Structure 1
Amino acid sequence: MQNILITGCSTGIGLQTAKTLKKNGIKVYASARKEEDVQMLKELGFNTFLLDVTKPEHISEALEQIIKNDAKIDAVFNNAGFGQPGALEDIKTDVLREQFETNVFGLHELTRQVLPIMRKQGYGKIIQHSSVLGIISLRFRGAYNASKYAIEGLADTLRLELANTKISISTINTGPVTSKFRDNAVKKFQQNVDQENSAYKKEYDTQLNARLESDKDNTPFNLPATSVADVIQNIMNTDNPKPRYYVTKATYILGFFKRILSTSLLDKILQKI
């Protein structure tokens, strides 16, 4: 039986992926950073860990336990992450650093720790969760954009460095997918951005807050979390995973625009999104 460690399984894509893989006969180690979410995962029948990716000791303990249980780790899905909305000039450096601690440095730490295990066993699959915003940038998503662009650089380099091994690196570029991502983004926006004294106050009031706080998801090409889960299932089922997987039509369209349009023309399109 194959096994996989998934980070960020409290809700959304992580939870749905864990459920899908478990249903299809894969042993899932589903992790979360809060005790109540770990308990929820236990009640759903998962092998689970308290795993905050910003804490290297949590990662070490999880990997050690998996090896103790199964003597191998077939795959890791670096899914944990969050979005920090706000114009870049409103994002303090400490806030940007917090964004990177989870989305980039936590991902890198888990990758770095699992690689010696996979080298020793002679194979493995590492799946890095990027975004359409790792391909193109949008206003008021600068911190998140930057973190996803960083993941792209790490993943692209790792593929080159691991080319002579049987360890694969796959990048998932997810577009708009239904999850609790926006709920968490609202909290981060309210907590870390001084909206009242911002040069973008009017746009925050009339656009960003309304979009973040809306109960409806009218984003074009939006798909359910199962769309990502199915891709992870496909990766687990193949001996030769692709280096990159696009999820949602938005990713395909914007990725295509990035390749063929001039920077100036692409900017004009992105300013309207």
Structure 2
Amino acid sequence: MEQQVALVTGASSGIGEQTALELLRHGFVVYGAARRADRMAAIVGAGGHAIAMDVTDDASMRAGVEQILAAHGRIDVLVNNAGYGSYGALEDVPIDEARRQFEVNVFGLARLTQLVLPGMRARRSGTIVNISSIGGRIYEPLGAWYHATKFAVEGLSDSLRVELEPHGIRVVVIQPGAIRTEWSAISRRSAIERSGSTAYAAQARALVRALEAADRSTGATEPHVVAATIAKAAGARRPRTRYATPLSAKVIVGLRRVLPDRAVDRVIRSVFSPTKEELAEAQHAEAPHADDVDRTGV
């Protein structure tokens, strides 16, 4: 049987890197893609390939797909893993940053899928694995833009699943929970940078505390656990439509299905409510917005 070829984006660290390594162990020909190919030495060392790809750059994505097709004539599995968390109050986050969040987390995913679909349709076979998050089912204060992208990935994937089923192509959503990667540090830093000295400062500090606690909790796990789930889905003849992982993520997604919105709101408020110390610290740090001046009459 001919080896299947997989393309994994965001493969320079975390879930993407571990997924590439796991797929190699399962016998796939694997191409890891990231903006910096030199950060994928572990994948190359394990027998995989590294290609430079920026999912916000159409020419970069085209060139990567063409390189793989020229070498192997096929891409059997696409793992759309590239993404990041941009946090901060909606009022504070510049709209250009919000657009970039969608460019990376949604439009890059969609465009790369467009590029691999013709070959998959021609063979009437293929698997698209979209990395969402439990954040595509639940929500947090100061996470509006990030959660909007993951809710979008969920809806896009559902439509795509039924759209592509007649063509023999499977679409799977992976919903990681608390995973110990650099994602959390980037998200925490963005929350403080955007809202750490605004009217939302206390909430930003509470968010940072909650994300740090999640990383330390027994419910958090390492990226290889998610990678094993992705490899399982990629190799299945009839994969499930969604995989929440680890167990703590399954519990959270399950509770979201059965609890009414107001009940979930209360849980969210209890987790992300600022302490007295955080409120006091925020009062000292808060500064007025430059955009608070009303210029409509100028």
Tell me which amino acid in the other structure corresponds to 1:203: Q
- Structure 1 residues 43-63: Cα deviation after superposition (integer angstroms, max 9, x where no partner): 554211101111111111111
User: Is the radius of gyration larger for structure 1 or structure 2?
Assistant: 2
Aligned 1:184-223 pairs, distance under 5 A:
184-191=186-193, 193-196=194-197, 198-205=198-205, 207-210=206-209, 217-223=215-221
Partner of 1:251: 249
- Structure 1 residues 111-130: Cα deviation after superposition (integer angstroms, max 9, x where no partner): 11111121112210000000
CA distance 1:89–1:220, change in 2 (3 Å): farther
Of residues 211, 223, 229, the one that matches 1:225 is 223
Of residues 60, 63, 66, the one that matches 1:64 is 66
Measure how far apart 1:40 and its partner are: 6.0
Count matched residues. Answer: 269
Of residues 18, 21, 25, the one that matches 1:19 is 21
Partner of 1:266: 264
Aligned 1:111-190 pairs, distance under 5 A:
111-190=113-192
Q: SS of 2:166's equivalent?
A: coil
CA distance 1:263–1:84, change in 2 (3 Å): same
- Kept in 2: contact 1:38–1:50 (CA 8 A): no
Gaps of 5+ in 1: none
- Kept in 2: contact 1:21–1:28 (CA 8 A): yes
Aligned 1:63-82 pairs, distance under 5 A:
63-82=65-84
Measure how far apart 1:104 and its partner are: 0.5
Partner of 2:239: 241
Tell me which amino acid in the other structure corresponds to 2:23: L
For the aligned residue pairs, the C-alpha RMSD in angstroms reads: 2.0
- Kept in 1: contact 2:24–2:46 (CA 8 A): no
Q: SS of 2:216's equivalent?
A: coil
Q: SS of 1:136's equivalent?
A: coil
Q: SS of 2:82's equivalent?
A: coil
Partner of 2:34: 32
- Kept in 1: contact 2:195–2:204 (CA 8 A): no
Q: Which moved more, 1:27-36 or 1:146-155?
A: 27-36
- Kept in 1: contact 2:89–2:141 (CA 8 A): yes
Q: SS of 1:90's equivalent?
A: coil
Measure how far apart 1:95 and its partner are: 1.4
Measure how far apart 1:99 and its partner are: 0.6
Q: SS of 1:91's equivalent?
A: coil
User: Equivalents in 1 of 2:133, 2:215: separation in Å?
Assistant: 18
User: Equivalents in 1 of 2:84, 2:255: separation in Å?
Assistant: 26
Of residues 6, 20, 26, the one that matches 2:8 is 6
CA distance 1:167–1:69, change in 2 (3 Å): same
Q: Which moved more, 1:75-84 or 1:35-44?
A: 35-44
Tell me which amino acid in the other structure corresponds to 2:222: P
Measure how far apart 1:8 and its partner are: 0.2
User: Equivalents in 2 of 1:111, 1:219: separation in Å?
Assistant: 35
- Structure 1 residues 73-101: Cα deviation after superposition (integer angstroms, max 9, x where no partner): 11000000000111222222111111111
Partner of 2:282: none
User: Equivalents in 2 of 1:171, 1:54: separation in Å?
Assistant: 21
User: Equivalents in 1 of 2:53, 2:195: separation in Å?
Assistant: 31
- 1:98 and 2:86 are equivalent in the alignment: no
Provide TM-score, normalisation by structure 1: 0.91
Q: SS of 1:98's equivalent?
A: helix
User: Equivalents in 2 of 1:136, 1:171: separation in Å?
Assistant: 15
